[in-house]
Amino acid sequence: MQARRAARELAFILFSQFDKQITSYSKEDLENIILKSVRILTSNAEDELKITVGSLLEMKAQIDDYEADHETNISRPIGTQNVPVPLPMTSDMSKRIEEMIDIADKALLALDIAEFTTLDSQHEVQNYSVKIAEEFQKNHKEVDDIIRKYAQNWDFDRLVKMDKDILRIAIIELLYIKDAPMKVVVDEAVELTKKYSTEDSSGFVNGILAKVIVDYGIN
C-alpha cells in the first residue's frame, strides 16, 4: 500500500473527529488524534478479522453438513469417509465469500495504515496527514466556499459529512499542497467515497472535483 494512500485515509479518519472549531487544534493535538485513530483502526481490524474467521468456520460447517447429509453419503456404509459432492448453487457460496473478502480487505487496509504510521521509516504517512489537516485549518473557509459553489442545488449544511471531508481533503491537495498527480487525488477521493459513504456519493464527489479542476486550470 502506498504511503500517500494511507495518509489520505488517515486524514479522512482525522477529519471525522474534528468538531466545528477546527482552528483550535495544535499540531500536537493532530498527532494525538492520529495516534488515537490508528488504535481505533487496529482494534476494528482485529474485530473484523475475527468476524471473517467466524464466517469461514460457519461456512465450513455448512459445507460439511451438506456433504454428510447428501444422498450419496447417507447411502454409504457407516464408518466410511464421506466423498465430495457438488454444491447446489455457486451463488450461495459466492455471495458469502465476497462479503468475507470485503471484510478482510478493510481489516488489512487498517493494519497497513497502522504499520505505515508507526514505523520510524514511514513518517511520511503521519506528516502528510497532518499537513492536509493544517492546510485545511488555514484555508477551511475558502475550501468550504468552493464546495458550496459547485454543489449546486445542495444545502451545504445537509451534505453528508463524509462527502464533505473527502472533498475537503482532495481540494486541499489539488489547490494548496499541489504535490500529487491530479488523477491520483481524484481517483483516491472517489475510492474513499465508495468505501465510506453512500452509493450515489462517488458520482457527486467526482463531479465536484471535475469542476474544480476545469475552473482552476489544474493539469
Helix axes 182-196, 201-215, angle to 10 degrees: 160
Q: Quick one: pLDDT at residue 217? A: 93
Query: If 0-12 CB within 10 Å is exposed, 13-18 middle and 19+ buried, where does residue 77 land?
Result: exposed
pLDDT > 70 fraction of the chain, expressed in percent and rounded: 87
Asked whether the predicted pLDDT for residue 219 surpasses 80, the reply is yes
CA distance 110 to 17: 17
Least confident range from 62-71, 112-121, 152-161, 207-216: namely 112-121
How large is the average pLDDT for residues 176-182?
Answer: 94
Q: pLDDT-based confidence at 1, cuts 50/70/90?
A: very low
Choice between 200 and 133, residue whose per-residue pLDDT is larger: 133
Residue pair 151/76 in contact (Cβ under 8 Å)? The answer is no
In whole numbers, what is the pLDDT of the chain averaged over residues?
Answer: 84
- The CATH number for 150's domain is 1.10.940.10
The per-residue pLDDT for 120 is 45
Under a CB-based contact definition with an 8 Å cutoff, are residues 7 and 124 in contact? yes
Does residue 121 have a pLDDT over 60?
A: no
72 contacts: CB under 8 Å, gap ≥ 6? 83, 85
Question: Of 116, 136, 120, 208, whose CA–CA distance to 177 is shortest?
Answer: 136
**For 8-50, how does the pLDDT look when each residue is reduced to its tens digit (9 = 90+)?**
988 898 888 776 667 778 888 888 888 787 777 777 777 777 7
Report the domain count for the chain: 1
Whether 111 and 10 have beta carbons less than 8 Å apart is answered as no
Q: Average pLDDT, stretch 131-136?
A: 94
Query: Which of 93-102, 139-148, 150-159 bottoms out in mean pLDDT, i.e. has the lowest?
Result: 93-102
Domain membership of residue 182 as a residue range: 3-215
Residue 97: is its pLDDT beyond 70?
Answer: yes
